[in-house]
Amino acid sequence: MLNDLLLTLPITIATVWVLVLILCEAFVHNANLTRWLTAIGFAGIIASIFLIPSPEGYAYGTMLRTGTFTNFSNFIFAVSGLLVVSISDKYLEEEEINFGEYYIILFISTIGMMLMGSAANLSVIFIGLETMSVALYTLAGMLRKDVRSNEAAMKYFLLGSFATGFFLYGIALIYGATGELALPRIAASLQTNGVSTLFWIGLSLLMIGFLFKVSAVPFHQWTPDVYEGSPTTAAAFMSTGSKAAAFSSLIIVLSNISIALPNNAVLQTAFAYIAVATMAVGNITALTQDNLKRMLAYSSIAHAGYMLVGIAAGSNEGYSGVLYYALIYTLMNVGAFGVIAVLERHRTLTNASDYAGLFKQHPLLAGLMAVFMFSLAGLPPFGGFVGKYKVFAAAVEADLTWLAIVGVLASVVSVYYYLRVVIFMFMRDPEPAPQANANATGSFALVAIAVIVFLMGIFPTEVLKLADNAMKVALK
């Protein structure tokens, strides 16, 4: 047991630290202290991943997977959490919800993500998903007095519960078809007993649960309303961490099961079609959005589509591309939401036209936003380009060239709406200037993200190696 706790050190640290946070908030009632402690907790998780990386293997019987894949995914979640915490406090003060609970719930949500990203058993995936989702429902409703926020929380909660129902039913049917919950043993059972229709139905129901969480078409309708209604920083967290968690879980399930599926063309085709639909709907709808939060919501649907291209490829390359993409997407999307949070005032000043002439008033902010927009659009030399290149290349290798072409076309469409923001910022005359609302940590975090996004575009090899390595061992 002690050994298991050490093997899954990030989760252990997080679980213990949550208790510290709750006790601290309960007795001291100081949101700023809780914020710093949360940041320290995330930093501790990141440090533990680098200093004591877990060896390949299983922990708690076959409940959790340890090793490079887990290290990589845990790193994404912790980074997402840390960045969101560092851009949150000014925004929360402005919206008058600067309470310690925000940080605690965000931290607990990360525990759920880490469980999803290291699960080797369907029961753990489910419980991780629930931990993450319940926390996110609350985060969406953090602005208690705001009708839109209430609507976001309610919508997310109801639809999320519905999707969880599918997910659970899928698990039940898979259990009925194989008699196992542990993923390696499910694969073994499929290899000996063959794959039945029952299993396929169970798997599709399971996939519906995942596709809802990554907001893939046709399970995407909740995304714009929820991202728009939620506090901006919470939306940043939802769009990055939870998506990365759902994708890493999806990779775990698929990479385990694909061993036992002799001919996974069905799965590949299904994912390819979903990816096409997701990219198309996300990008085309984003064209008509004026509100930047809604625009980013549709763009996050589109990005889920790009990542699904990697999933459809179904190869090591594809999966490691998705991992890399999840990391870079986390960085640039938190950055973009962060800039919006700096400028937003009680749900105003979130339209693209409000950013007119931003460059003249706040050159740094405008420059940062431009970096994030270029990167989201997938233009070189930014990180987003490498991510897209990686997943599309994997699709080509997997004989899905048409899918890669669709992806490239979709990216071309997306350039329009990302660059529109840049054009407003740099080429329009300034309106009455929005007051920037940033503090030292927030600005530093944004600048750091921009630098990393830039660096990951120019020197991607090291991170790519890590991502490849993560997948190689996981797939064996």
Partner 1 sequence: MNSLAYQIIFYLFAAIIVGSAALVVISKNIIHSAFGLLFTFFGVAAIYVYLNADFIAVTQIVVYVGGILVLLLFGVMLTNKITQADLKTETLNPVPGLLITLSVLAMLLYTFYFRAKWVTVPVDQQLRGTVVEPIGIATMTTYVLPFEIVSIVLMVALLGAAYIARADRKVQTKEGK
Is residue 178 within the footprint of partner 1 (CB under 8 A)?
yes
Question: Is position 207 an interface residue for partner 1 (rule: CB under 8 A)?
Answer: no
Closest contact distance (angstroms) between CB of 391 and partner 1 is: 32
Nearer Cβ to partner 1, position 110 or 232? 110
Select 193 or 348, whichever has its Cβ closest to partner 1. 193
12, 47, 60, 433: which one binds partner 1 (CB under 8 A): 60
Q: Which two tokens stand for residue 411?
A: 């990216």
Residue 462 CB-density burial (10 A; 0-12 exposed, 13-18 middle, 19+ buried): exposed
Would you state the structure tokens that stand for residue 99, as one six-digit string? 């309470």
Name the minimum Å distance from CB 358 to partner 1: 26
Asked if 218 interacts with partner 1 (CB under 8 A), we say no
The reply to whether 431 sits near partner 1 by the rule CB under 8 A is no
Q: Among 52, 123, 399, 409, which residue interacts with partner 1 (rule: CB under 8 A)?
A: 123
Please give the Cα distance from 332 to 350 (Å, whole number). Answer: 18
96 contributes a contact to partner 1 by CB under 8 A: yes
Segment interacting with partner 1, rule: CB under 8 A, options 14-22, 212-220, 421-429, 440-448: 14-22
The sign of the torsion formed by the CA atoms of 373, 444, 31, 50 equals: positive
Integer Cα distance of 29 and 177 in angstroms: 51
Size of the site for partner 1 (CB under 8 A): 50
87 makes contact with partner 1 (CB under 8 A): no
In the stretch 15-34, what mask flags binding to partner 1 with x, by CB under 8 A?
x--x---x------xxxx--
How far is residue 378's CA from residue 282's CA, in Å, rounded to a whole number? 15
Residue 341 sits in the site that holds partner 1 (CB under 8 A): no
**Which one, 32 or 348, has the nearer CB to partner 1?**
32
SS3 letters for 67-110?
CHHHHHHHHHHHHHHHHHHHHHHHHHHHCCCCCHHHHHHHHHHH
Binding piece for partner 1, criterion CB under 8 A, among 99-107, 284-292, 349-357, 423-431: 99-107
Using omega within 30 degrees of 0 as the cis cutoff, is the peptide bond preceding 218 cis?
Answer: yes
CB count, 10 Å around CB of 50?
9
- Kindly state whether residue 211 participates in binding partner 1, applying the rule CB under 8 A: no
Q: Whole-angstrom Cα distance, residue 417 to residue 428?
A: 16
Considering the rule CB under 8 A, would residue 99 count as an interface residue with partner 1?
Answer: yes
414 near partner 1 (CB under 8 A): no
Q: Which of 294, 244, 236 is nearest to 102 (CA)?
A: 236
Among 458, 327, 309, 289, CA closest to 380 = 458
In sequence order, which residues have a C-beta less than 8 Å from that of residue 279 and are 6 or more positions away?
302, 305, 306, 309, 406, 407, 410
Binding of partner 1 at residue 138 (CB under 8 A)? yes
| Residue number, 12 or 469, with CB nearest to partner 1 | 12
User: Interface with partner 1 by CB under 8 A: which range of 65-73, 119-127, 352-360, 408-416?
Assistant: 119-127
By C-alpha distance, which of 110, 8, 1 is closest to 52?
Answer: 8
Pick the binder of partner 1 from 24, 40, 127, 364 (CB under 8 A). 127
Selected binder of partner 1 within 45, 124, 292, 336 (CB under 8 A): 124
> Which C-beta is closer to partner 1: that of 185 or that of 347?
185
> Which of the residues 435 through 474 are near partner 1 (CB under 8 A)?
none
Let me know: does 322 contact 471? Beta carbons within 8 Å: no
74 lines the binding site for partner 1 (CB under 8 A): no
Task: Compare residues 91 and 374 and give the one whose CB is closer to partner 1.
Answer: 91
Q: Is 104 in the site for partner 1 (CB under 8 A)?
A: yes
Q: Which residues lie across from 348 on neighbouring strands?
A: 345
Of 204, 221, 411, which Cα lies nearest the Cα of 303?
Answer: 411
Residue 61 in tokens:
């019987």
Binding site for partner 1 (CB under 8 A): 15, 18, 22, 29-32, 60-61, 63-64, 93, 96-99, 101, 104-105, 108-109, 111-112, 115, 121, 123-124, 127-128, 130-131, 134-135, 137-138, 141-142, 144, 153, 176-179, 189, 193-194, 196-198, 201
